[in-house]
Amino acid sequence: MSEVVKSLQERRLRVWEQAKALADAAAEENRTFSGEEESSWQSLNAELDALDKRIKAVIDGEQRAKDAEDAMSKLRGEPRGKGGPEGTGGDNEELRKFLRGEGGRTFDVRPAGPVSFRDLSKLSAAAGGATVPTDFYGQLVAHLIETSAIMQAGATVLNTASGETLQVPKTTAHSSAGIVTEAQPIDESDPAFGQVSLGAYKYGTVIQVSRELLTDAGVDLEGYLSMQAGRALGNAFGAHAITGDGSGKPRGIVTDASAGVTGPAAVAGGFGSQSTAGQGADLLIDLFHSVISPYRMSSSCRWIMNDGTAGVIRKIKTTEGQYIWQPSVVAGTPDTILGKPVLTDPNVADVGVAAESVIFGDISQYFIRMAGGIRFERSDEFAFNADLVTFRALMRADAALVDLTGAVKTFTGGAAA
């Protein structure tokens, strides 16, 4: 961990302690924030959000610098691999030639071997940053993951060579058992299954690069293109992975998640008062325990919400006066609620009446199908008058929740008064 990250993390902890002290004072006096206190609280939370983004940006920047140095070291003299336009995408020299127009118009970016997408998070070394490959495919997928909370959370990824429709079994009910009287027949109880079809919807983005950047050997062009393509594709797919309705797009996790907890009425879909039984932290505790233990014990069990909802939940305490939101003390590691990591995604609904604003459960039961690699194509003619080279990145993917027995549940805002 660099000194810059350490300094930012220490500052974040100091800001959190200030916010905590402010809320503690109001709670001890059994009152709401005054106007000045509310303003201070909002300011402190805004600073926490800014520090979170700054810490993540510094960590990403340091990793990109390391990736670039590793890539340039390979270009300066390390033995070449067996990649190429039709290979793994790991041959940086062949990729450079393609980017400069010294090859064909198409470059298929594929992994060199089996890929564990759960190890490709760059959030921190503990989260897998130390295991991220430095080849172009690894960099691109890492950026795709960091812009999609679902992929960060450990969704199951099926990577196929082609795009024919896959029929994946989905569980709708488990077997049951009971006491059997001696010599009496045992009632049959089979699990109930259905099927979900995973196709291959095409996502694409266009990136333009000046010819000067292409000819300057000192520019980390692979890093730039992998970041731009990965983030663009991740943002597009990530939105559908949360709320897609399955009509011409993947089925989002919210679409098939089970109802977990409904909030109280007359609080605009929110969490209610911390001092009222069954409201505030009680709702999140109920949601936590609405997901059965085997799913809660999964390493892919997560909370997912947007930043606005996270700001609301940060203020909530248990009946013992402890904040239900616990900040991480390790840079790049997610904060937790009831011991489970929290990820934020802008595509999750805001707190509101009938809005499913909090997702909780075993995200590994959400299956993502990726067909083939990511295809890169270049055109020198598209922006000829501006002397720009245009690159097009294409990815085919689909997704759906395959366990409908309650592996993933949501908090739904209560009715209006």
Residue 159 or 131, more confident: 159
Asked if residue 207 has pLDDT above 60, the reply is yes
Q: Tell me which DSSP letter residue 265 carries.
A: T
The answer to which of 35-49, 206-220, 278-292 has the lowest mean pLDDT is: 206-220
> How many Å separate Cα 364 from the centre of its chain?
12
Range picked from 127-131, 215-219, 228-232, 303-307 for highest mean pLDDT: 303-307
Q: What integer pLDDT is reported at residue 123 of this predicted model?
A: 44
Q: Which helix (H) or strand (E) holds 68?
A: helix 35-75
Whether residue 44 contacts residue 22, with contact meaning beta carbons closer than 8 Å, is answered with yes
CA dist 343 and 310 (Å) reads 9
102-130 CB burial, b ≥16 within 10 A, e <16: ebeeebbbbbbeebebbebbbbbbebbbe
Q: What integer pLDDT is reported at residue 154 of this predicted model?
A: 87
The mean pLDDT value of the chain amounts to 79
Asked if residue 346 has pLDDT above 80, the reply is yes
Domain map (residue ranges) of the chain? 1-174+190-417
Segment 128-141 shows an average pLDDT of 55
pTM for the model: 0.68
CA dist 238 and 342 (Å) reads 16
Identify the three-state secondary structure at position 303: strand
Segment 203-229 shows an average pLDDT of 81
The answer to which of 26-30, 191-195, 271-275, 303-307 has the lowest mean pLDDT is: 191-195
Q: What integer pLDDT is reported at residue 87 of this predicted model?
A: 40
Cα-Cα-Cα-Cα torsion 60, 395, 107, 381, nearest 10 degrees, comes to: -100
Asked if residue 119 has pLDDT above 70, the reply is no
Q: Give 359's Cβ-side CA count (13 Å radius).
A: 32
Give ∠ CA 90-96-102 in degrees, rounded to 5.
125
Q: Write the single-letter amino acid at 76.
A: R
How many percent of the chain have pLDDT more than 70?
A: 75
Instruction: List the structure tokens of 327.
Output: 């900040």
Q: Which of 214, 209, 235, 62 is nearest to 148 (CA)?
A: 235
Q: Write the single-letter amino acid at 295.
A: Y
Instruction: List the structure tokens of 91.
Output: 């041959």
Dihedral sign for Cα atoms in the order 157, 160, 166, 167: negative
Q: Backbone phi, then psi, for 206, in 5-degree steps?
A: -115, 130
> How confident is the model over 317-338, as pLDDT tens digits?
877 788 899 988 777 788 999 9
> How confident is the model over 247-260, as pLDDT tens digits?
999 999 999 999 99
Asked if residue 359 has pLDDT above 90, the reply is yes
- C-alpha separations of 143 from 58, 183, 238 in Å: 15, 61, 12
Asked if residue 81 has pLDDT above 60, the reply is no
The answer to which of 22-26, 31-35, 132-136 has the lowest mean pLDDT is: 132-136
